[in-house]
């Protein structure tokens, strides 16, 4: 994975491009992030850096082990940690800050990963877009899935059958998003299009 940042989904808004067209954008508070640990091939078996997201508020419920981990790095506790392999990996040291202005610029193409909104237990009409049966009186087949397997052969429900179940709350990655603007002062990244997750949810922005 190339240059990446941890961020928070702020919400959606609109902007006008140079031709006067309305462009839907998602606002992401990307960083600032701080390097909390260096992973080396000699010690850990691979080269990477552990990065924490600085939220500007006190993080509660930090375990003693993690509290010692942050104290050793000399950084404040972070609510989320991730590991990345940056292009300038050899130049990064523990305590270095990673800012949105140094990693991204306008018209960059990025991908955004996050946890999609959870919808709880959902039926096949909502979860998979099944049409359902007739909505007339007495049909008894309004939103049912229909037949899910044959009784003679193979006399079982085949794996992968689309059925009712938990909907959402899964990792989703949206690729090919274009960076519309970068607000260096406020650590904001504006990307064209929608990204997964609710407002206030954590996301990973990568080139």
Give me the pLDDT at residue 162, please: 94
On whether the CB atoms of residues 207 and 30 are closer than 8 A, the answer is: no
Instruction: At 16, list the tokens.
Output: 């006008």
What's the rounded mean pLDDT across residues 136-145? Answer: 90
The DSSP element (H or E) to which 65 belongs, if any, is: helix 64-73
Instruction: At 204, list the tokens.
Output: 């990973």
| End-to-end alpha carbon distance in the chain | 8
User: 153-180 pLDDT, tens per residue?
Assistant: 989 999 999 999 999 999 999 999 999 9
| % residues pLDDT > 90 (the chain) | 42
List every span in the chain annotated with CATH 2.40.30.10: 4-121+166-206
What mean pLDDT value characterizes the chain? 88
Positive or negative, the Cα torsion across 9, 203, 183, 37?
positive
Give me the pLDDT at residue 1, please: 44
Give me the pLDDT at residue 2, please: 62
Instruction: At 31, list the tokens.
Output: 């960083």
Distance CA 107, CA 20 (A): 17
Stronger pLDDT, 124 or 70, i.e. the higher one: 124
On whether the CB atoms of residues 201 and 7 are closer than 8 A, the answer is: no
Instruction: At 54, list the tokens.
Output: 């600085």
Stronger pLDDT, 1 or 80, i.e. the higher one: 80
Residues in the chain: 207
Instruction: At 26, list the tokens.
Output: 């998602």
Instruction: At 103, list the tokens.
Output: 């990693």
Please give the angle made by the CA atoms of 81, 30 and 70, to the nearest 5 degrees.
30
Q: Determine the topology of domain 4-121+166-206 in CATH.
A: Elongation Factor Tu (Ef-tu); domain 3 (2.40.30)
C-alpha distances in angstroms, 96 versus 34, 48, 78, 206?
A: 6, 14, 14, 19
């Amino acid at each position: 994975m190339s240059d990446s940042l941890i961020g928070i989904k702020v919400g959606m808004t609109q902007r006008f491009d140079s031709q006067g067209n309305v462009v839907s954008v998602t606002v992401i508070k990307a960083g600032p992030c701080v390097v909390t640990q260096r992973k080396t091939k000699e010690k850990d078996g691979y080269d990477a850096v552990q990065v924490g997201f600085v939220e500007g508020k006190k993080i509660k419920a930090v375990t003693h082990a993690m509290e010692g981990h942050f104290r050793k790095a000399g950084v404040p506790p972070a609510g989320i940690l991730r590991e990345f392999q940056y292009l300038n990996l050899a130049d990064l040291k523990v305590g270095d800050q990673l800012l949105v202005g140094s990693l991204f610029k306008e018209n960059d193409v990025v991908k955004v990963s996050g946890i999609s909104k959870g919808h709880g237990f959902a039926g096949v009409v909502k979860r998979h877009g099944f049409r359902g049966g007739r909505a007339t009186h007495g049909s008894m087949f309004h939103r049912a899935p229909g037949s899910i397997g044959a009784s003679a052969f193979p006399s079982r429900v085949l794996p992968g059958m689309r059925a009712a179940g938990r909907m959402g709350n899964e990792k989703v990655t949206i690729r090919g998003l274009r960076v519309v603007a970068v607000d260096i002062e406020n650590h904001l990244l504006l990307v064209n299009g929608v990204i997964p997750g609710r407002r206030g949810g954590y996301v990973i922005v990568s080139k």
